Structure 1
Amino acid sequence: MRMKRATKPGFSDTELATAWQAASLLLGYPDAELLERRPLLRRAADSVPDAVGTHLRAFLDHLDATPLNDLAADYVATFDHRKRCCLYLTYYAYGDTRKRGMALLRFKQAYQAAGLDLDDAELPDHLAVVLEFGATGDLATGRRLLLENRAGLELLRLALAESASPWRNVLDAVAATLPPLTGRTEDAVARLVAEGPPEEQVGLAPYEPVLLPDPVIGVRS
């Protein structure tokens, strides 16, 4: 039987950009500015298909119901202290190895080709940055970067779901904007679940791991 090729979900470019912009902000470190943007983010969630909007609204409900200090503490515990919940996409494929430095350079070169220069303090593979870039810089290139790192993205989504993290809703929203997983990607996810990222403790200068509290570019009202 001939296998069907995975196809792009039915989103317009505007809907895709809106979904990624909202997800980007929701994956940033929670602060007072994020809370102030909740009305704008609600409008964004209501303007995209329910396959994405339902998940975004679920996370926004959590924002409404949770004190800011608790949100911040949960964010740090989730993304800074759990290897399988790392927001830096190349970590899943390369770990802290020499090869990761070249992967990071490819991200930065993709941004530069689209006219965006990141500050040296920001790692270009942070999921919030990739989504922000796709939403406001280059939709096609942003999508390519996400698909090239789909196995890591899926492992992150599964890890958040397993721990019942509220941020799982944001990853579910992002996943809903991408084509279904292929058998090859599913195999890669299975390997990551079983083995984890490669281990080789070496420096990544000039890309040393840093916290990224906010996306590069904010949502425009």
Structure 2
Amino acid sequence: MKKKLLILFFVLSNLMLSKDDDNIPFHKELTEIGKSIFGNVMGGTNVILNSKSYSREEFELYFKLHPHQIQSLDNIDKTRKEFEKMFNRDYLNKYYSNDYIELKNGEKFLYGKFYRIKNYTNYVLELYFVDKNNELKIKIYYRESKDDKGYDYLKTINDSTGEAYFYVPFIWEEITVITENKKIQSRKDYFGTEGKLYEYLLELFKEEIPKEFFEQRNVKRYKEVYEPDYIEPNKKYN
């Protein structure tokens, strides 16, 4: 299943580039193969944009494991200008804070964010929590990689030229990646090279990320796509 999606992912490299205000190309083939495999593509939109990013960070990667199936916002015009709004930091903070994983210590884990500042070798992890007093708390960790895999993954992402949007089913886990040249919003089972970077960073910071995150990630229902007979938009399902 993942191999089929990954093969189609590389079709993106052959897409035409759009002007700043043009509609982003719709990837019909990837939408159809997702529908044939998962049974529906009603979970929202994945998007891959060619876009210059912040000058300070080499990359940012937001990650989230939802305790409920959610539908991403899908009622925007399919233009570069509108898609770019999905990668605004304020928007991302609000979107990734909309639910949480309950921790054994009474805290609520909202989401995590990896990044690295240009000309520095350390990766940074920020973890966002709500504590027992219902106050936001951010924990920050630093790790230095012992190899060049992270650089290689980033180079592959930045060197790609394709862009598109496509529809996906309800999936529990998602990431948003912002690099020097790309902006990607993606869900598990649709990950390309950005997924390899994500797994690499999870392994690098596995001692700092709450154990409950990995425990829930390994639960069977979090490994599968949700396929209800009928879906009400914006409704949370247990």
The two structures have a TM-score, normalised by structure 1, of 0.33
More strand by share: 2
The two structures have a TM-score, normalised by structure 2, of 0.31
Structure number with higher relative contact order (C-alpha < 8 Å, ≥ 6 residues apart): 1
Q: Between Structure 1 and Structure 2, whose CA radius of gyration is higher?
A: 2
